[in-house]
Amino acid sequence: MPFDALGGPQSVTLTEYLRNEGITPVPMDKLFAHKNKMLRQHRASRWLTPLPYLLVGGATAVSLAILFPVFVLIPVVVLTGMTISALCFIIVAMLSDAGMIRLAGKPYWTEYVGLDWTVPPAEIAKVVRHVQATLPPNGALVYGELKQDQVLLDPYIILSIHGIPACLGIWDESTVIACATLETM
């Protein structure tokens, strides 16, 4: 290219960077397996699935089947179905308020580019600080986390160079699940 002779930051690949810095990342397969395991472990509550709607629809259908032969009482049938449906929702609300039913939203993974993340455990922080100090211009640290009902469940951090990721660590509160190794030079 015509402007290569002017100098400037050299573009480095992820493999070259990891080799030059002596970093052995966590295999991405391990991160993907961990993410899938956490999604299975932190499922949404079954009350946030179609089950309540099936119960309400079933209650309405039963009331219609019982009272349908009486054509004169159609308003009564409609009111009975609505009353049974309302009672089902009120009972579910009372049970969840009493703590007998756990209502949890759907878990989701989010990722942030940059340094707006919580402090990882010491093992992972050592690798991350080294990467921050030697990060090439075409690289970025990406912090990811599993959230459910706005609660942080499971964070991880990856190094991305040219969009190719390498996992530096996975942890849960203060417990390290997986950590990249850093060879001392």
Domain ranges of the chain: 4-43+106-182, 46-97
pLDDT, tens digit only, all 185 positions of the chain? 455 554 445 678 888 888 888 889 999 999 899 888 888 887 776 666 666 666 666 666 666 666 666 555 666 666 777 777 777 778 877 777 777 766 677 787 888 887 655 678 888 888 888 888 888 888 889 988 888 777 777 888 899 998 899 999 998 877 888 888 888 65
Q: Which residues, other chains included, contact 178 with Cβ-Cβ below 8 Å and sequence gap of 6+?
A: 26, 30, 31, 34, 167, 169, 170
**One-letter identity of residue 69:** P
| Coil vs helix vs strand at 165 | strand
**One-letter identity of residue 53:** Y
